[in-house]
């Protein structure tokens, strides 16, 4: 369940019932059907705050929070950007022999960005770069990063972005 924190309260109550009873009732039926499921749920919000604000049921939170995995955002893992970028490029190239490579300027540009959109934003930037790239090489010229949301929301550039800005202005 992607972005569980955005689920409406009425649906949260129904999901909790399904998880507690381990059964579902099909529409138009009077009979429950037993189920055996495991749920993987994700969110990018602070769930304690969502519960405090009345946006998420505490009982559902404890039902789902069996084995929490907390990950850090992409801007805090700049060593992972190149391997993730390589993987994402591979997903969008039909023939492995046509796989483009990222030159040093492209890698520098990717590491300097704060990635408020996380891996989804990285994937979009790389898809754009694939369309623009020539001769199997992606350079910083093809790394077109949309800063509209970042400027609008006042998002930070992350440590790498701030370092790049400070270096450029020095």
SS3 for 119? helix
Nearest by Cα to 129 from 140, 117, 119, 114: 140
Q: What is the pLDDT tens value at each position of the chain, 170 positions in all?
A: 999 999 999 999 999 999 999 999 999 999 999 999 999 999 989 999 999 999 999 999 999 999 999 888 888 898 999 999 999 998 888 765 678 899 999 999 999 999 998 899 999 999 999 999 888 899 999 999 876 444 444 444 445 554 555 555 55
* CATH architecture label of 74-169: Orthogonal Bundle (1.10)
Residues of the chain with CATH 1.10.8.60: 74-169
- pLDDT per position as a tens digit, 90-132: 888 876 567 889 999 999 999 999 999 889 999 999 999 999 9
| Cβ burial, residue 51 (10 Å; 0-12/13-18/19+) | middle
Residue 134 has a pLDDT of 84
What is the pTM assigned to this prediction? Answer: 0.63
Q: For residue 23, list its beta bridge partners.
A: 34
């Amino acid at each position: 369940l992607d972005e569980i924190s955005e689920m409406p309260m009425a649906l949260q109550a129904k999901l909790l019932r399904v998880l507690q009873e381990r059964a579902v009732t099909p529409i138009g039926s009077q009979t429950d059907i037993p189920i055996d499921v495991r749920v993987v749920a994700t969110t990018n919000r602070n769930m304690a705050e969502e519960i405090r604000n009345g946006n998420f049921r505490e009982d559902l939170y404890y039902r789902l929070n069996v084995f929490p995995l907390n990950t850090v955002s992409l801007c805090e893992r700049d060593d992972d950007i190149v391997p993730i970028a390589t993987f994402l490029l591979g997903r969008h190239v039909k023939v492995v022999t046509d796989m483009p490579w990222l030159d040093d300027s492209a890698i520098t540009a990717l590491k300097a960005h704060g990635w408020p959109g996380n891996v989804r934003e990285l994937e979009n930037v790389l898809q754009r770069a694939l369309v623009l790239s020539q001769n199997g090489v992606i350079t910083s010229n093809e790394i077109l990063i949309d800063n509209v949301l970042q400027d609008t929301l006042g998002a930070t550039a992350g440590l790498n972005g701030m370092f790049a800005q400070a270096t450029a202005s020095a």
